Amino acid sequence: MMNLERQTTRRLHEEHVAALDLLGRFEQTLANYRDPPEIIDDQWRGIARDMGSGMAGEIARHFDFEEQALFPRLEANGEGHIVQLLSDEHSVIRQVASELGALLQASLTEQFEGAEWRTLKMLGFEYVERMISHVQKEEMALLSALENILGEDDDAELVLDYAG
Ligand SMILES: [Fe+2]
Ligand SMILES: [Fe+2]
């Protein structure tokens, strides 16, 4: 990982690392269950809740921030192609997240049968795969582009806005 000079890029990087950690735990849990977990299974309930709140909370907020505050700056600096690619990925990931979120929620209130569980697993693995690839792309392309574009004042303002 390159040396990040800006607060905004450091913050994004930290959130990427946290997201990858959660995705790794989720993927491992999915792989551990061949059959649907019991509805009272605490290990499943814990990760299903963590993923559900992660997707609805931090991840949604992170995507919004990138789209609203960062992508326009990149576009204005000739980085339109990467913005297009990342925006397209956001919209696919949001779609998968909304379906997966509903299934995770449902798994907490009703006992899943084999077919529902297989659907959840398939969507879960798809979400993990798309997110990992997206985060890797951003770590390689987005952060370095932002490091070149953001001035110190701009950076301080952005990170304050995001925190607020
Ligand atoms: Fe993103
Ligand atoms: Fe990101």
pLDDT reported for residue 3: 86
Ligand 2 mean position, distance from CA 67 (Å): 10
Helices in the chain by DSSP H: which ranges?
A: 7-32, 42-54, 60-65, 71-76, 80-109, 114-137, 143-149, 152-163
Query: If residue 78 lies in a helix (H) or strand (E), which one and from where to where?
Result: none
CA distance 117 to 15: 29
Q: Which ligand is nearest to the CA of 134?
A: 1
Q: Which ligand is nearest to the CA of 58?
A: 2
Count Cα neighbours of 146 within 13 Å in the Cβ-side half-sphere: 28
Q: Which portions of the chain are predicted below pLDDT 70?
A: 1-2
Ligand 1 mean position, distance from CA 38 (Å): 34
Q: Which ligand is nearest to the CA of 15?
A: 2
Q: Where are the domains of the chain?
A: 7-163
- CATH code for the domain defined by 7-163: 1.20.120.520
pLDDT reported for residue 113: 97
